Structure 1
Amino acid sequence: MRALRTALRATLLAAGLGGCREGVLAAAGPIGDAENQILWETFGAMLLVVVPVILMILAFAWWFRASNPRATYRPDWSYSGKVEFSIWIVPLLLILFLATLAWSGSHDLDPYRPLPSDRKPVRVEVVSLDWKWLFLYPDYGVASINELAVPVGTPVDFRLTSGTVMNSFFVPQLGSQIYTMAGMQTRLSLQADQPGAYRGLSAQFSGDGFSDMGFTVRAVDAAGFAGWIAAAKASPGHLDNAAYDRLAATHAAAAPTRFGAVDPGLFDHAVAAATASAHRPMSATNGVMCAPRRTQGTL
């Protein structure tokens, strides 16, 4: 009875999750769709093992019950060619299937691989900071904090780094997560096929402000994206190297902010600044090798 109540509670909780539309199962782009397909194919392969095993357990328990006179008692039985064949061939086929799936998926979903499209990709440079995300649009000369606008149906080529500790850039509905590391660059190609506002987050614990590292991805049509860029250009903020250094030194969460002017090469400055910081002696940082504690207030 206790197990039944537990199972009932779990079923009711799982049913309630049907309203959650922000996770990886609610894919809104080609990468997310491909990853969902791999997930379900892997799940199906596991069911090919789990379901027959459960059915055999039930069948054996029923057939070899004490009240069944037709069940043959064979204490000296030790070998069956059919059984040996089955218990070896099925796992081998599953391993071959999963290996093929992993191999093809690893190449097809390579984050450095550009997405096929007849549209010119939008370039976005990403810098993870304590505890916020900085997005640079080098082709438009604007930037934003914790707000990312992308045109629907157009690939977005990300170039990512960290101005502080290691982090992880992740938009669950669009697909792959990828790490950001100080003094290094990673790349990622994503695309939103449906308009909407998608939640982005950090998937890597990075300090006591880690939970504040959320951002919004606004997928809009071409006119909406042009309007967002125009609104960003009209913003009064100017992000130059000195302003970036002050931003990186402020270890606090930040509200969504836009900058109407950005110095060229700011992303390279962020990489170089993090590289120089990483090569300072321990005495220069008081021995601190992780993200500083949160400061009071927000930007």
Structure 2
Amino acid sequence: MEADRKLALATKAQLFRRIVLFVIPGYLLVVVGCLATAVDKAFVGHVSSLQLASIGPASSVYEMWTQTIRAINGAQLALLGSPPAEMSRASIRAVGFVYMTSAGLFGGIAAFVMAPSAVRWFGASSEMFPFAMAYLQVRAFFMVMGRVRDSCNVVCLAEKDSVTPFVASVIAFVANVLGDLLLCPKYGAFGAAVATDVATSVAAGFTLQSLRNSGLWPKKFPCPGRRESRHFAKYAFNLFLSAVALLMILISETRLASKMGTTSGAAHQILDAIWRIAGLSLSLPMEWAGQTFLSKDLTGAEWRHIASVISAASMCFSILSA
């Protein structure tokens, strides 16, 4: 009896270690992305508080598309963790990539076209308008590259590999800082947008090549049918609603702060960057851990065991973030 108890404790400790080793690179992956955004805002803020404030409405429009599109990411990760009988993991990877790139192209075109009216609705004043437009249209033009990166990251995470996306994010962070150094002093918000999108493209290329080397990159990209769409929609719909609820809060804050003037809008961007680094960055890796480790082939006891370990890890990281 004592031996069984010790074995159970050792197993739980080993599982906790596996989950923590998965979550830490994932957590750092998100933190590095948030830091890159904070660095952009720091460089732009040193050029002009007006341009810093203008990033708020532009980012809100951009995130309105990207955050909702990421519901497809969540669905793909969930399906890779618990693939349905009629879909192989290879087909899930291929179909997920098709969905993500298609959504990225559509979202980019929509954000580009709706930019003039959208940035005004999200609180950009007449003084902010040209800078917000420049930032948003550059980001919209390259939106698809971010979705390529996200889809590649999901494939890595499904293989319980959070290190490759983290390394890609570090490379992108360095490229982003160098781009900001070169472009922001002269071009302000426009330069920050260019630097961010170039860095995103570098990260996407690195992760894509890693998938090719490991044999995980799809050889064919079939047009998704009704069956595939049904499976993706099953998971994506709830994630979409969750993303919309969060976006409504974030967007309303940005809109109100921007309407209060340049000073309030700029201050809000600084506080938003701090909150994303300290708080929001934790939620994604814990979500990934749940989708990766809690597969449908587990027994009830195994599922509860893993869920309790993930909850314990989440509590530890929540205290750290606080």
**Comparing both structures, which one devotes a greater share of its residues to helix?**
2
TM-score, normalised via structure 2 length: 0.25
Q: 1 or 2 for the larger relative contact order (CA 8 Å, sep ≥6)?
A: 2
State which structure, 1 or 2, has the greater radius of gyration over its C-alpha atoms. Answer: 1
**Scaled by the length of structure 1, what TM-score is found?**
0.27
